[in-house]
Structure 1
Amino acid sequence: MPYNWLLYALLVAGCLLLLTGCGNGTRVESDGDAFYRGTDDTGAEVVVTERPHRIVSLGRGMDEILLGIAPPEQIAGLTSTVDDPGISCMTEEARAVSVKLKDRSPERVAALDPDLVLAIDGIPKELVDSLRDLGIPVFVSRTPNNLEDIFARIETVGRLIGQEENAAARIAEKRALLADVERRVGDIPEEERPIVVAFAFSGVFGRKDGLFDDMCRRASLRNGVAMAGLTATTAVSMEQVVALNPDVFLLPTWSTEGKTTEEFREKLCRDPLFIHVKAVQENHLYVVPDRYRYNTSQNAADAVYALARAVYPERFADEK
């Protein structure tokens, strides 16, 4: 092989090796100076010198992952929303952790003496930088776009905190649940799958190629607003929703302003814009709790199950 081509091949191989570590990181067993060394989802290097025993989470999805794979004594703090049953799937488990952060200032987080902080990409960069300046390892995780992203996130957290076996067990449990949904509804042809439009109290949600879109796909449903073209940068009008003539409307359940599902249902049914839509005419107005629909932890698999069971109850008749 000519020298130039050999050099090129070595460079490509080196780049690929670096890329395979991005966002996941590796447990270091041989160099003796670190328990974990890798890069987070922003490309920042993360080095954890020894197995963490005072972990702080700065995101509800991370809260639930930690509660699912780590003992409470390994967790120094979670976010305050993990106690809210309207948006959290693990309020009972969260009771075992006494500190719940509402104030996420650098001073408040540092006061917990963490040896690892798990953050999400919505956390201000200034907070992350401040914690790192204090010598605290911070791993920033990108918001998952699908269930596979979530499973990869759980694997990474498992390696970060030395709970690989628990992480693998949790993933296997949720994959089994998804396989059960697939067994029940996976045979439904694409063109026969109901068109579903999900509402938040502020409007429709479920952008194309986002996590809820993947949930719908796995539940053998068609996500209406994705079909209409909703993306992170492109809005969808209510007229576009009506034009789809959706089979099902999913109603919101969680509000910080005291709004209720029943009030939303009544307003929707009275709205002249929707009175001829199939979902309203056939009263296919279903409720799947927002703690599932907005979930970014292992419990997103339960959202798939809940969606499928709400729309196809006859295929879950054997379930109590």
Structure 2
Amino acid sequence: MDVPEEPSRIISLSPAVTETLFMLGMGDRVVGVDSWSYRPREALKVRRVGSYATLNTNVVRELSPDLVLTTTGVQRPLIDQLKAAKVPVFPVPIPSTVFELISGVALVGGLVGKYEEGAKLAEGLHSRLVELSRLRFSTPVRAYIEIDLGGPTVPAFFSHITSALHLLNVHNVYGNVKQAYLYGVKVADFPLFDVSDVFRTDPDVVIYEFKRKQPSGEEVKELVRSRGWDKLRAVREGRLVVLPADTLAHHGPSFLDNLRECLVKVMDSLGSPSPSP
């Protein structure tokens, strides 16, 4: 597909890509986004063209984009839909490592003609990652990580989350599974993951990302009760790290800020000194 040198009417179907476009100074050229794009806050003013997995092609045609940026994975049917409608589309791969997350930022910069800006943004993120890696634990911390994406979703080896935490010497207990994610609900083409398997792994810390931005104390208690996590050594000893929605799941430029937030909470749970602001 021919990509315009400097597209002037862009639709983004990825929250990570949307955030990247705004950070590249291209926000005024973004005419449509998916319903999950809220970073930065200015993105909330942009017209919604669908959800992460569905698309209103009538709205897309009305907006007359000269470039639609998607991800891969579950958005492959959307790519086919856009191609069938003769809409220019380019899929930005979902990162399987934190390094691919950073290179993806540079890729978006190149696609929209912001070569220098994309390179500088990626270099800045790399520098942040190096700084964070200096705070890594001296001995490995074994972690169970789960994200509520409408059902239990557990990062495995091919996830930017596993990769990023490993740099901090936080080892995902499912980091040796050849998938991006394990699913505790039925997902086509994937085996059903038994969330009770966490008891077998006996992690040092449990990291749980809620579906809501501000989970209540009652919600945390109900989670522990319903899963029987009070029998987990990590939870019993106060090492349950609770994160708001879209902290680690997000794979845009602000992920490194979110990673630091997670690191601080893990350090606090283990009684380690937190890094200075």
Structure-1-length-normalised TM-score: 0.72
Aligned residues: 259
1:281 equivalenced with 2:228 (yes/no):
no
Q: 1:196 maps to which residue?
A: 143
Paired position in structure 1 for 2:185: none
Kindly indicate whether residue 56 of structure 2 is the aligned counterpart of residue 105 of structure 1.
yes
Shift in CA distance, 289/50, structure 1 to aligned 2, threshold 3 Å = same
Rounded Cα–Cα distance in structure 1 between residues aligned with 2:64 and 2:227: 57
Aligned equivalents of 2:214, 2:123: Cα separation in 1: 37
Amino acid at match of 1:316: S
Q: Does residue 311 in structure 1 map to residue 266 in structure 2?
A: yes
CA distance in 2, matches of 1:61, 1:119: 10
Counterpart check, 1:51 vs 2:6: yes
Q: Choose from 156, 159, 179 the match for 2:107.
A: 156
| Matched letter for residue 159 of structure 2 | G
Instruction: Give the C-alpha shift of residue 235 in structure 1.
Output: 4.9
C-alpha distance in structure 2 between counterparts of 1:130 and 1:277, whole Å = 46
Which ranges of structure 2 fall in alignment gaps of 5 or more residues? 182-189
- Of 114, 130, 136 in structure 1, the residue corresponding to residue 87 of structure 2 is 136
Tell me which residue corresponds to 2:167. 218
How is 1:120-131 mapped onto 2 (pairs within 5 angstroms)? 120-121=71-72, 122-125=74-77, 127-131=78-82
Structure 2 residue identity aligned to 1:290: A
1:176 aligns with 2:124: no
Deviation at residue 238 of structure 1 after TM alignment: 3.7
Q: What does residue 41 of structure 1 align with?
A: none
Amino acid at match of 1:72: G
> 2:211, 2:140 → 1: CA distance?
27
Q: Decide whether aligned partners of structure 1 residues 274 and 109 sit closer, same or farther in structure 2, where only a CA change above 3 A counts.
A: same
Larger radius of gyration: 1
CA-CA distance at 1:69 after TM superposition: 1.2
C-alpha deviation, 1:289, in angstroms: 2.8
The alpha-carbon deviation at position 130 of structure 1 amounts to 4.4
For 1:193 and 1:243, how far apart are their aligned partners in 2?
18
Q: By how many angstroms is 1:165 displaced?
A: 1.6
Using the size of structure 2 for normalisation, the TM-score is: 0.82
Give the whole-Å Cα distance in 1 for the aligned partners of 2:233 and 2:112: 49
Residues 156 and 223 of structure 1: CA distance in aligned 2, closer, same or farther (over 3 Å): same
What is aligned with 2:199? 242
Q: Distance in 1 between matches of 2:20 and 2:69?
A: 10
User: Are the equivalent residues in 2 in contact too, given 1:206–1:230 (CA < 8 A)?
Assistant: no
Residue 260 (structure 1) shift: 4.0
**3-state SS of 1:128 partner:** helix
